[in-house]
Amino acid sequence: MIEVENLKKIYCNDSVETPALQGVSFRIKQGEFVSIMGPSGSGKSTLMHIMCFLDRPSSGICKFEEESIDSLTDDELARMRNKKMGFVFQSYNLLSRTTVFDNVKLPLIYTGFSKEKEYEMVKQALEAVGILHRSSHFPNQLSGGEQQKTAIARAIVNHPSVVFADEPTGNLDSKSGQQVMDIFQRLNDQGHTVILVTHERYTAEMAKRIISLRDGKIISDELVNSRHYAKDGLIK
């Protein structure tokens, strides 16, 4: 599904070059649950932004379903993100004056589905995360965990090929964080590809594979259960 080869990203500021990624390579298959882990400044968020076509690399290859980021225009990338990818962020990014139901419906605005179809898709997404009973509430009437569940429902409403989650438990207490991770595990069990960015080891270990970064380089790529390390940085 995702192929990254010798990926590099360099930020320039007043002629000063700062490398964020330094030759990263790996592959992610359909149906995997992968954590990208590392401390602040390791390059994990930069890597996720490139994988989900929110940023472009300085050099190297990044392909999604065999489509290279270099071969697509910005409009084509935007259409692919809306159709193929779901996003969950640490800060939820919900519209405060919009109900839970309408927040979840947002990715369907330009899809052309009938209102009946949209209703069923939103209902299914809310049921999947267990907050259908809160569909008419506003974000400020929800707990942090419920807001994040709403964000997850929004991410999966369009049946994306992959769900990207950037520090999704960062603003939650341990109980709510566990509930959110349980949802990601269920989604993965149902066939969704999930890519999680985190700096927390215990959160990363809820995935099935961990790619660890430090200073823009992969320092390990392991399967969580077998603890098998691939010598070339790729798990095939």
Residue 70 pLDDT more than 90?
Answer: no
Beta carbons of 220 and 59 less than 8 angstroms apart? no
Say how far apart CA 25 and CA 219 lie, in whole Å.
11
Mind listing the pLDDT tens digit for each residue in 3-59?
Answer: 999 999 999 888 888 999 999 999 999 999 999 999 988 999 999 999 988 899 999
Residue 97 pLDDT more than 50?
Answer: yes
Residue 230 pLDDT more than 50?
Answer: no
Mind listing the pLDDT tens digit for each residue in 167-181?
Answer: 999 888 989 999 999
Say how far apart CA 173 and CA 170 lie, in whole Å.
8
Q: What is the DSSP letter of 91?
A: T
* Helix or strand holding residue 71 (H, E): none
Residue 80 pLDDT more than 90?
Answer: no
**What is the pLDDT, as a whole number, of residue 79?**
86
Q: How confident is the model at residue 81 (pLDDT cuts 50, 70, 90)?
A: confident
Mind listing the pLDDT tens digit for each residue in 119-176?
Answer: 999 999 999 999 999 999 999 999 999 999 999 999 999 999 899 999 999 888 989 9
**What is the pLDDT, as a whole number, of residue 225?**
67
Q: How confident is the model at residue 233 (pLDDT cuts 50, 70, 90)?
A: very low
Looking at the DSSP bridge assignments, the partners of residue 5 are 61
0.85 exceeded by the pTM? yes
Say how far apart CA 34 and CA 49 lie, in whole Å.
15
User: How much of the chain, in percent, has pLDDT values that exceed 90?
Assistant: 69
Closest among 137, 134, 168, 138 to 151, alpha carbons compared: 168
**What is the pLDDT, as a whole number, of residue 110?**
78
Say how far apart CA 220 and CA 149 lie, in whole Å.
31
